């Protein structure tokens, strides 16, 4: 996840300072035109004039009860802003939860951001305020003006807003997300009937804002959701990925946070278009057989004045105790997982993306920070649980709750944990004592793998175990092997720049590394730009260096990796038994002196098994012979110079001969080039 701290909003600060100096009771816009965030009233505390409540009962007593229990899974249909007809009049209905507020009103361009103009009405003791605005339509800016118990007025964006103002603006935008014409029935049916654990899953991780950019001044040249849908689909199909994982789609104020410091959990970011445009994006990818995964951030949120922090003048969405309620490393607030309404906000948000946008999976960011009370905190600056331990029991219950709800729908949607510790049973069911995630990022494999491939080939023989150790625990969880954005930023170097050797050797090294990754048990994820060997580290402010794809070595690597992906999808041996010991066998696990790895991936029938050979040194092994488990023909599907053999091309066939080799009863002679790779079918 992003570790960058966001900037503060100068527009918001200017508005507050101007209000303080003028002593006015009306809200003042910042010089930039942004909506205000905070005003301090002078004189007596402002009170809304007495108006008879509308009594719409749109948020019913049952709605309020379920929300209080944390089980109103479509609460986003009740809270927030919604087009509605009331007493024969068309307009917008608004509802917000602010239990500590002295009063709440609706403000926007329509009333010159005046907190006294449109007071909202409290529904019983629920802490929910409502108002119906006749004649108000979609596309209008608004906020809630919340008068706190101390008399301050906070201008807050709607936590349930479906759209948000383009940065640096911070207002919410009224929207109608109903009635989109989805055309992805075939995909959704297939997803529901597919066991993704026993299916191919190769993920292309993408930051839309820097994948490609247009040469135009509007919105920094960002691609729209619609433009990205077409070009991204074309690229993903060409390369052979099965899914796209999108960073930073929920609204966030600061580009440099990469979308991991969210202020609008229900709003697709306006950087790339409107809510319906994002629906088009998902629909288009689905129609072309591509899944869509979103990064999701229930671990923390920023302190921006218009956001969730101290929402009604007091800690509401966050823990009140700063030892639990703040992340000192990130300068962010931590959700209060003990509060039913907060858990409901998050669970409903996850289901919102799955239901309203047909999202296929959520990758949960920073799970470890949620599980451990002492995560990033020094001794004495964290609060033990009731048993004296450092586990966050409330977060554990939250994970079991949300994962049970999602898995219980049986619709094929997946939830993935980015969890960097050895916490047990992340992907086991809650009934069996686990947390219930479908997959877990394999951070241990990633660390060992990168440490190995960065080494000069001479020293690799002394670190052979870094490449074999992950197999000792590979079946303990449903793992995804990840080379994500976090590994190619903040002075960590791009994948090609990590490789040792002179120019050409770097590409050869990367080919061997990617071949090993595709062969190793576990699903796959690669960050954008690394499949064509971008040289510079990822920078969210500029496009990838697509011009490199026209240069021979970069193009060759891109074609080679595409061959690996297409081969991966074609052969069930590479995914049906990822988490079953029957699906993998080392041929020679101890060939450290030559830094050669050989292993077999088995399908269930054992009739389309694959033999992998990876030479991690520049040494040619012309007399190389690899042990194999059975007699017969071994057909070469891919090698380092040719890449994947396509249909119609003559494939090389090698005949196994009887005789012990590598502890196997048969062997195949295969001259192994420097940095040689070979995948055989048998």
pLDDT in tens, 510-527: 999 999 999 999 999 999
Range name among 16-30, 119-133, 562-576 with the lowest pLDDT average? 16-30
Predicted pLDDT at 54: 53
- 40, pLDDT greater than 70: no
For range 154-183, the mean pLDDT: 98
For range 273-286, the mean pLDDT: 98
pLDDT tier, 37 (very low <50, low <70, confident <90, very high otherwise): low
- 48, pLDDT greater than 90: no
All residues at 6 or more sequence positions from 654 whose CB lies less than 8 Å from its CB, including other chains: 633, 634, 635, 636, 668, 669, 670, 680
The answer to whether the beta carbons of residues 471 and 480 sit under 8 Å apart is: no
Nearest CA to 504 out of 674, 620, 622, 638 is that of 674
- 398, pLDDT greater than 90: yes
Predicted pLDDT at 433: 95
Nearest CA to 416 out of 206, 603, 563, 201 is that of 201
| Ranges of each domain in the chain | 10-173, 581-681
Nearest CA to 167 out of 256, 228, 281 is that of 256
Predicted pLDDT at 43: 31
pLDDT tier, 56 (very low <50, low <70, confident <90, very high otherwise): low
Give whole-number Cα distances, 602 to 221, 383, 574, in Å: 47, 48, 8
Sign of torsion, CA 228 229 235 240?
Answer: positive
| Among 130, 304, 312, 365, the one annotated catalytic | 365
Neighbours of 532 (CB within 10 A): 24
Distance, in Å, from the CA atom of 6 to the CA atom of 16, rounded to the nearest integer, reads 19
Range name among 31-40, 362-371, 406-415 with the lowest pLDDT average? 31-40
pLDDT tier, 53 (very low <50, low <70, confident <90, very high otherwise): very low
Q: Pick the residue with more confidence: 103 or 16? A: 103
Predicted pLDDT at 57: 76
Backbone φ and ψ of 528, nearest 5°: -55, 145
Is 582 tagged catalytic? no
pLDDT in tens, 607-633: 999 999 999 999 999 999 999 999 999
**Burial (CB count <10 Å: 0-12, 13-18, 19+), residue 195:** exposed
- 19, pLDDT greater than 50: no
Is 234 tagged catalytic? no
Q: Which two tokens stand for residue 577?
A: 């038994």
pLDDT tier, 36 (very low <50, low <70, confident <90, very high otherwise): low
| Among 163, 205, 394, 418, the one annotated catalytic | 418
- 480, pLDDT greater than 90: yes
For range 335-347, the mean pLDDT: 98
Structurally, at CATH architecture level, domain 10-173 sits in Sandwich (2.60)
pLDDT tier, 55 (very low <50, low <70, confident <90, very high otherwise): low
pLDDT in tens, 240-253: 999 999 999 999 99
Predicted pLDDT at 46: 38
Sign of torsion, CA 512 518 523 524?
Answer: positive
Scan for tokens 């509802």, then name that residue.
95
Predicted pLDDT at 45: 36
- 29, pLDDT greater than 70: no
Distance, in Å, from the CA atom of 572 to the CA atom of 578, rounded to the nearest integer, reads 10
All residues at 6 or more sequence positions from 98 whose CB lies less than 8 Å from its CB, including other chains: 104, 127, 129, 144, 146, 311, 312, 316
Chain-centre distance for alpha carbon 130: 33
Distance, in Å, from the CA atom of 446 to the CA atom of 425, rounded to the nearest integer, reads 19
% of residues, the chain, pLDDT over 70: 92
- 320, pLDDT greater than 70: yes
Predicted pLDDT at 2: 43
Predicted pLDDT at 294: 98
Structurally, at CATH architecture level, domain 581-681 sits in Sandwich (2.60)
Q: Do 581-681 and 10-173 have the same topology in CATH?
A: yes
Predicted pLDDT at 30: 31
% of residues, the chain, pLDDT over 90: 91
DSSP per-residue letters across 50-117? P-------SS-HHHHHHHHHT--TTGGGTSEEEEEEETTEEEEEEEEE-TT-SEEEEEEGGGTT-TTT
Give whole-number Cα distances, 93 to 54, 138, 140, in Å: 11, 11, 13
pLDDT in tens, 195-224: 999 999 999 999 999 999 999 999 999 999
> Over the chain, what is the mean pLDDT?
92
- 11, pLDDT greater than 90: no
Predicted pLDDT at 518: 98
- 34, pLDDT greater than 90: no
Predicted pLDDT at 217: 94
């Amino acid at each position: 996840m992003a570790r960058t701290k966001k900037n503060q909003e100068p527009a918001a600060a200017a508005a507050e300072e101007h209000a303080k100096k003028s002593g006015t009771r009306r809200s003042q816009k910042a010089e930039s035109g942004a909506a205000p965030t905070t005003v301090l009233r002078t004189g007596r505390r402002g009170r809304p004039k007495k108006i008879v409540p509308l009594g719409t009962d749109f948020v019913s007593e049952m709605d309020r009860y379920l929300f209080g229990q944390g089980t109103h899974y479509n609460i986003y249909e009740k809270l927030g802003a919604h087009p509605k007809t009331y007493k024969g009049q068309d307009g917008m209905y608004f509802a917000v939860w602010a239990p500590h507020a002295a009063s709440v009103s609706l403000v926007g361009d329509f009333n010159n951001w005046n907190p006294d103009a449109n007071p909202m009405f409290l529904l019983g003791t629920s802490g929910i305020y409502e108002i119906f605005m006749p004649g108000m339509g979609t596309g209008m800016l608004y906020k809630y003006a919340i008068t706190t118990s101390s008399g301050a007025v906070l201008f807050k964006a709607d936590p349930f807003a479906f759209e948000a103002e383009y940065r640096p603006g911070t207002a919410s935008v009224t929207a109608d997300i109903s009635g989109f014409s989805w055309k992805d029935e075939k995909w959704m049916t297939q997803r529901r009937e597919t066991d993704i654990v026993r299916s191919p899953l190769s993920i292309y991780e993408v930051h839309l804002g820097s994948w490609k950019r247009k040469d135009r001044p509007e919105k920094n040249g960002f691609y729209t959701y619609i433009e990205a849908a077409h070009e991204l689909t074309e690229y993903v199909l060409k390369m052979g990925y099965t899914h796209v994982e999108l960073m930073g789609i929920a609204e966030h104020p600061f580009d440099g946070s990469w979308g991991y410091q969210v202020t609008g959990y229900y709003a697709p970011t306006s950087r790339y278009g409107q809510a319906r445009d994002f629906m088009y994006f998902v629909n288009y990818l689905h129609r072309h057989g591509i899944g869509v995964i979103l990064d999701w951030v229930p671990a923390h949120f920023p302190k921006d004045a218009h956001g969730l922090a101290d929402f009604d003048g007091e800690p509401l969405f966050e823990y009140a105790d700063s030892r639990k309620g703040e992340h000192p490393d990130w300068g962010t607030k931590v959700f209060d997982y003990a509060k039913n309404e907060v858990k409901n906000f998050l669970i409903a948000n996850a289901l919102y993306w799955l239901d309203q946008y047909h999202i296929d999976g959520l990758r949960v960011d920073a799970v470890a920070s949620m599980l451990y009370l002492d995560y990033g905190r020094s001794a004495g600056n964290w609060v033990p649980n009731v048993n004296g331990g450092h586990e966050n029991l409330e977060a554990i219950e939250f994970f079991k709750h949300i994962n049970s709800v999602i898995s219980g729908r049986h619709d094929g949607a997946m939830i993935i944990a980015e969890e960097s510790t050895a916490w047990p049973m992340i992907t086991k069911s809650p009934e069996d004592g686990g947390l219930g995630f479908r997959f877990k990022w394999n951070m241990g494999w990633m660390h060992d793998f990168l440490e190995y491939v960065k080494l000069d080939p001479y020293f690799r023989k002394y670190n052979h175990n870094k490449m074999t150790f992950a197999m000792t625990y590979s079946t303990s969880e449903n793992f995804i092997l990840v080379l994500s954005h976090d590994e190619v930023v903040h002075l960590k170097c791009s994948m090609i720049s990590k490789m040792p050797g002179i120019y050409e050797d770097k590409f050869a090294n990367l080919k061997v590394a990617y071949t090993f990754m595709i062969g190793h048990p576990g699903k796959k994820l690669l960050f954008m730009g690394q499949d064509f060997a971008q040289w510079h580290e990822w920078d969210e402010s500029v496009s990838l260096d697509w011009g490199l794809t026209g240069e021979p070595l970069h193009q060759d690597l891109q074609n080679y990796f595409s061959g690996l992906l297409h081969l991966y999808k074609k052969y069930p041996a590479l995914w049906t038994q990822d988490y079953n010991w029957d699906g993998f066998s080392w041929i020679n696990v101890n060939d450290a002196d030559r830094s050669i790895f050989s292993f077999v991936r088995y399908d269930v029938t054992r009739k389309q098994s694959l033999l992998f050979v990876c030479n991690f040194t520049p040494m040619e092994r012309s007399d190389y012979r690899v042990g194999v488990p059975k007699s017969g023909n071994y057909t070469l599907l891919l090698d380092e110079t040719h890449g994947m053999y396509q249909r119609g091309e003559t494939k090389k066939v090698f005949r196994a001969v009887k005789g012990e080799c590598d502890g196997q009863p048969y062997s195949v002679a295969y001259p192994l080039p420097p940095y040689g790779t070979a995948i055989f079918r048998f």
